[in-house]
Chains A and B, each alone.
Chain A
């Protein structure tokens, strides 16, 4: 009897007995016991639950409520009826997006920009970490690292502002330089062809130093005995970097790369929006900026939500696939 009760409560879950046949009274007793156990467990962490209230409320209101509101992707939003009362329209909003002439352009720009960004900006933090790691004086090392983090603390608005000051066609530094060298001035800011590079390389400038932190940490955890042994065997510094440091940070690099791939369709809004202008939309119009335009400028709420939802679903699929791949390749995964 005791064993059976425990089994029901979950103590012997792994032991796969055939499910005991219980009378109604026994079942009731089991359920009562179960409830009491849960109640004491809940009671034991009562304080912790009280503690959780602000966080749970916050996430319910600002994350889960909007998730529920995603239903307007399948509705015709009317301001009077609100989110919950508006008419259902099924897949109309989504179909309108799929059939539109800008559908492929948006996909191309979003994926293109973010793949370009991934491929270019991925190696720089690793290179920086490898180079900075060789600075011999600890003081210099710290100074160099501190400097490399600086751009990370500048806002996107200021970053794009600096870009504009450096690259504008009138008297931007770069164009003045071009003119001095006898080239023609070029409108970097208004060129659709230049936009992806402007976006990606300014990102490298801003984030390479910051993103190198994790690699510097990985380098610090490499066993110094490896270096000593290699030194005794007559390995040069370049050889030690190539054969000790690089393999040492490779696992970290692989994980970072996989995580980045999972974000490929997740093109941020803030920087693209600031760099966008009428002349470069051919390459600078990405899904997130389009969602903003359709939703908040044109008030086409249902349509805009549908596009956002489409993007979100692709993100999740991508993430799940990449996560599975990661598990297979490196044995490490996100969840």
Chain B
């Protein structure tokens, strides 16, 4: 207690003023980051009329869940949700398997030709065929309009491979491999028995990175899918949120004004419904991904 007091008294007036400045800056940046999200959430449960008239600023006005009812009744949203869930789960599993299939051997010092193999992967970071050749190859392979195009094309990241490899290199000592080899445990078994359990933190990070990526991506769907029934959620979102952008400028005299207002408030609800899973998930993995970013920043 006295120690605290002593420190308190030793703080100069200048420092105290600076404390206030820092507090203001911190609060200001948090507000700027949070405000759009809070506004969208508030608007999504507000009376469409109040939004239309620009009366909603921070808190909901005229509590109303009609927008959500509309969203959940919407077939597109349901289809999109279902597809995205499928793509996210299968895609994350597949990309994780491929990532570790590269990362683990590359983390082993005994791998013959390790540097050459590393450059084989690294090269793809700097040079790529580009949009059209990739598109044509995907068509040639018969993957067009299948979920495999969405799941496979350009989804495995070399950066993540390096992160996983560096993690394994740093956490698993060579002696462990030697001991395992002594006990007659082959390289593949070592991976499943020793390396994978020890790599749980980096596995969690990569699952999050890949999962978020699949959940939020629309590009592969846009290019490789033509069948609406297999569209991911983000493509339907794009239709709802962006394609009728011009709507707000046409004169609304012709159409039913209340209908128009409801369609506007649906946008807010749809944002919430689509973003909440990721926003709820990430804080739990925070301590892991901070580590993941740090490992990635260390040159491999």
- Looking at the complex, which one of A45, A52, A59 makes contact with B110 (CB distance below 8 Å)? A45
B200 at the interface (CB under 8 A from A): no
Identify which of A50, A66, A169, A238 gathers the most chain B CB atoms within 10 Å of its CB. A66
B52 to chain A, nearest CB (A): 6
B141 to chain A, nearest CB (A): 7
**Considering only CB atoms, which chain A residue lies closest to B238 in the complex?**
A157
Q: Which of B69-77, B167-175, B211-219 contacts its partner?
A: B211-219
Which A residues between 272 and 297 are near B, CB-CB below 8 angstroms?
Answer: 274, 277, 288, 291-292, 295-296
Q: Which of B28-36, B59-67, B85-93 contacts its partner?
A: B28-36
Query: A217 contacts B216, CB within 8 Å?
Result: no
B194 at the interface (CB under 8 A from A): no
Chain A hits for B15, CB < 8 A = 236-237
B25 at the interface (CB under 8 A from A): yes
Query: A236 contacts B14, CB within 8 Å?
Result: yes
Chain B hits for A295, CB < 8 A = 131-132, 135
- Looking at the complex, which one of A58, A214, A216, A238 makes contact with B98 (CB distance below 8 Å)? A58
Chain A hits for B187, CB < 8 A = 45-48, 51
Chain B hits for A332, CB < 8 A = 299
- Looking at the complex, which one of B22, B32, B120, B242 makes contact with A131 (CB distance below 8 Å)? B22
B202 at the interface (CB under 8 A from A): no
Chain B hits for A12, CB < 8 A = none
Query: B275 contacts A308, CB within 8 Å?
Result: no
Query: B242 contacts A156, CB within 8 Å?
Result: no
Query: A170 contacts B105, CB within 8 Å?
Result: no
B2 at the interface (CB under 8 A from A): no
Query: A308 contacts B130, CB within 8 Å?
Result: yes
Docked complex Cα distance between A151 and B271 (Å): 13
Query: A155 contacts B52, CB within 8 Å?
Result: no
B176 at the interface (CB under 8 A from A): no
Chain A hits for B216, CB < 8 A = 153-157
Query: A132 contacts B26, CB within 8 Å?
Result: yes
- Looking at the complex, which one of B120, B140, B248, B249 makes contact with A56 (CB distance below 8 Å)? B120
- Against B, the Cβ 8 Å flags (1 = close, 0 = not) of A126-167 are 001001101100000010111111110111111011101110
Query: A131 contacts B275, CB within 8 Å?
Result: no
Query: B152 contacts A270, CB within 8 Å?
Result: no
Chain B hits for A165, CB < 8 A = 40, 43, 241, 267-268
B299 to chain A, nearest CB (A): 7
Docked complex Cα distance between A80 and B30 (Å): 57
- Against B, the Cβ 8 Å flags (1 = close, 0 = not) of A318-335 are 010000000000001011
Docked complex Cα distance between A66 and B267 (Å): 38
Query: A51 contacts B126, CB within 8 Å?
Result: no
Interface contact tally, CB-CB below 8 A: 266
Query: B219 contacts A270, CB within 8 Å?
Result: yes
Query: A301 contacts B104, CB within 8 Å?
Result: no
B197 at the interface (CB under 8 A from A): no
Query: A155 contacts B241, CB within 8 Å?
Result: no
Docked complex Cα distance between A220 and B264 (Å): 45
B257 at the interface (CB under 8 A from A): no
Question: Which residues of A line the B interface, CB within 8 A?
Answer: 38, 41-42, 44-56, 58-59, 61-70, 72, 82-83, 128, 131-132, 134-135, 142, 144-151, 153-158, 160-162, 164-166, 168-173, 176, 180, 189, 205, 209, 213-214, 216-217, 236-238, 252, 269-270, 274, 277, 288, 291-292, 295-296, 301, 304-305, 308-309, 311-312, 315-316, 319, 332, 334-335
A sample of 29 cross-chain residue pairs with beta-carbon separation below 8 angstroms, ordered by A number, consists of A46-B187, A48-B111, A49-B105, A52-B101, A55-B102, A59-B124, A62-B134, A62-B137, A64-B124, A66-B137, A83-B136, A148-B33, A149-B286, A153-B216, A153-B282, A154-B216, A154-B275, A155-B275, A161-B241, A161-B267, A161-B271, A162-B271, A166-B36, A168-B248, A274-B242, A295-B132, A296-B135, A305-B132, A309-B130
Question: Which residues of B line the A interface, CB within 8 A?
Answer: 12, 14-15, 18-19, 22, 25-26, 29-30, 32-34, 36-37, 39-40, 43, 51-54, 97-99, 101-102, 104-105, 108, 110-112, 117, 120-122, 124, 126-137, 140-141, 152-154, 156, 161, 186-188, 191, 212, 215-219, 223, 234, 237-238, 241-242, 245, 248-249, 264, 267-268, 271, 274-275, 278-279, 281-283, 286, 289-290, 293-294, 297, 299
| 14 further A-B pairs in the complex, CB-CB below 8 A; given A150-B282, A154-B278, A305-B130 | A47-B188, A48-B111, A55-B102, A66-B129, A68-B133, A147-B33, A155-B216, A161-B241, A164-B241, A173-B39, A205-B32, A238-B14, A312-B127, A312-B128
